[in-house]
């Protein structure tokens, strides 16, 4: 981020809002990759199986590489699409390439250059109904955070409160509208990367969630709701919203000081372990206890406060999940925990991960092996310390020859991702990434069982949370020493 607000980075403020400009970027990507893909298939007819597989890998890697590069230049929904695609398990790539490309997609929200403050003043005057100087006693022109849809500035209210002011980029709503109309253009590429997905259903889900994220009044409602649910929690803090200063494009909430994620990563094991457990409990508790899926568990949205609590930020990407769907997710975890292949296959079909008309193709034992690799870190009890190099995978085994690889691909292509599970899978995946980056240790399966299966608290922090939920333990006393 530039120290001089009048000299922002080279890409700052470049937001192509015109329908033709944004459509041309996406359409050009799809058309160019379609021709290259067709050429690869033609050439593969005369190649050996080994060379054909290498060509497929290279073409898939080039496709996602260009997708990342193109979406990364476009604020708004284009970047959000890339972030959500980071949860897709791409077909046709070796494990190391697949993980690298997923990490690059997930990183689309990082390093976004801020928009010059002068471009935001007119928007704020329009939304607040007065010049900034009449609304705030002080307003810092340097943004201290920037993301795909808006950026955040620190300010002081007229009554002396320090606040964080999130401002939507001018023109981003129009850009997002165009991106959402263009989302269907990406479906052929997504089908090449993950043939089993119901791309249209996922596109509809992304359109709904991203459209909601543009409405800061809705985000303020989400934040107030979650803050009320967790007010007084012994380990979790949510900033309060200043409703009278918030609008559809400006969100004002209390400013919270705390250690950023990178500082926590450098702390000792006890701090990292406790912090990781709080992160885990926050997201799993909201989902399985309150039926709220938070789709943006990015570590940039956490602060370790001086009293030992973790403050969570950003409530734009939220979905209420039906209790019956969560019962299906619990059934999946129970089947993995019990090692029951037939029960797992039935649960996969019931929840929608395995369409009924494709179920006969999938071997139940193979599905159990696959789901164990994906979910055993939270579905099965037992102590585990994450490592930074296994955050995105649980030592998946690669097929040993072309025949086995083709058989695995055929099985994988039968699966899809139910739209209701998009944010759930995103949350599970990024929480695992965070625990890996923290190198956090704990009995994650036993902790998850509190939320999945109603089992008793597995840790002292779980006992404190249970006391809070029962209305007898609201104080965060005794945690102030858990700081880096």
Which pLDDT belongs to residue 22? 43
Q: Which two tokens stand for residue 262?
A: 């990178």
Which pLDDT belongs to residue 116? 84
Catalytic residue among 96, 296, 322, 402: 296
The answer to whether 375 and 333 have CB atoms below 8 angstroms apart is yes
**Whole-structure pTM value:** 0.77
Sign of CA dihedral 339, 345, 348, 353: positive
Q: Give the containing element (helix H, strand E) for 45.
A: none
Taking the domains of the chain in order of start, what are their residue ranges?
19-111+182-199, 260-484
Which pLDDT belongs to residue 189? 63
Which pLDDT belongs to residue 348? 96
Q: Within 13 Å of residue 258, how many CA atoms lie on the same side as its CB? A: 28
Q: Are strands 250-254 and 162-168 parallel, antiparallel or unpaired?
A: antiparallel
Which residues of the chain fall short of a pLDDT of 70?
Answer: 1-47, 49-50, 52-53, 56-57, 59-61, 63-113, 177, 179-199, 202, 388-405, 473-484
| Angle of CA points 436, 441, 446, to nearest 5° | 110
Q: Which two tokens stand for residue 250?
A: 């400006």
The answer to whether 364 and 472 have CB atoms below 8 angstroms apart is no
Q: Which residue has the tokens 């080279």?
A: 10
Indicate if 179 belongs to the active site. no
Sign of CA dihedral 230, 233, 236, 239: positive
């Amino acid at each position: 981020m530039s120290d001089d607000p009048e000299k922002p980075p080279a890409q700052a403020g470049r937001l192509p809002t015109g329908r033709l400009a944004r459509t041309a970027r996406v359409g050009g990507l799809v058309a160019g990759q379609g021709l290259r893909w067709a050429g690869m298939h033609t050439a593969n007819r005369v190649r050996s199986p080994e060379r054909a597989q290498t060509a497929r890998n290279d073409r898939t890697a080039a496709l996602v590489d260009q997708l990342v590069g193109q979406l990364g230049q476009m604020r708004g929904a284009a970047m959000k699409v890339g972030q959500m695609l980071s949860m897709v398990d791409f077909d046709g790539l070796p494990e190391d390439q697949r993980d690298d490309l997923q990490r690059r997609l997930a990183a689309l929200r990082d390093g976004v250059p801020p928009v010059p403050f002068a471009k935001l003043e007119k928007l704020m005057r329009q939304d607040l109904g007065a010049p900034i100087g009449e609304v705030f006693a002080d307003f810092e022109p340097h943004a201290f955070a920037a993301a795909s849809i808006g950026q955040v500035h620190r300010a002081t209210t007229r009554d002396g409160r320090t606040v964080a002011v999130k401002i939507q980029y001018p023109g981003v709503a129009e850009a997002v509208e165009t991106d959402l109309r263009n989302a269907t253009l990406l479906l052929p590429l997504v089908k090449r990367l993950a043939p089993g997905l119901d791309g249209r259903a996922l596109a509809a889900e992304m359109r709904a969630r991203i459209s909601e994220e543009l409405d800061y009044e809705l985000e303020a409602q989400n934040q107030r709701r979650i803050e009320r649910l967790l007010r007084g929690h012994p380990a979790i803090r949510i900033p309060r919203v200043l409703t009278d200063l918030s609008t559809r494009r400006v969100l004002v909430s209390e400013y919270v000081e705390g250690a950023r994620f990178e500082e926590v990563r450098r702390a000792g094991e006890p701090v990292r372990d406790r912090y990781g457990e709080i992160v885990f409990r926050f997201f799993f508790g909201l989902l399985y206890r309150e039926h709220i899926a938070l789709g943006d568990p990015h570590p940039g949205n956490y602060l370790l406060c001086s009293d030992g609590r973790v403050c969570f930020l950003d409530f734009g990407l939220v979905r209420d999940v039906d209790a019956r769907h969560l019962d299906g997710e619990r059934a999946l975890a129970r089947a993995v925990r019990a090692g029951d292949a037939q029960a797992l296959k039935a649960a996969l079909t019931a929840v929608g991960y395995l369409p009924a008309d494709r179920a006969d193709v999938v071997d139940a034992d193979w599905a159990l092996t696959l789901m164990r690799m994906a979910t055993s870190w939270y579905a099965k009890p037992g102590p585990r310390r994450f490592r930074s190099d296994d955050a995105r995978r649980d030592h998946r085994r690669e097929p040993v020859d072309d025949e086995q690889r083709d058989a695995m691909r055929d099985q994988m292509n039968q699966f899809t991702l139910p739209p209701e599970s998009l944010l759930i899978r995103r949350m599970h995946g990024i929480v695992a990434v965070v625990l890996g980056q923290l190198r956090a240790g704990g009995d994650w399966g036993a902790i998850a069982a509190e939320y999945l299966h109603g089992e008793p608290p597995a840790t002292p922090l779980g006992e404190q949370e249970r006391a809070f939920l029962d209305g007898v333990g609201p104080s965060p006393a005794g945690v102030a020493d858990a700081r880096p």
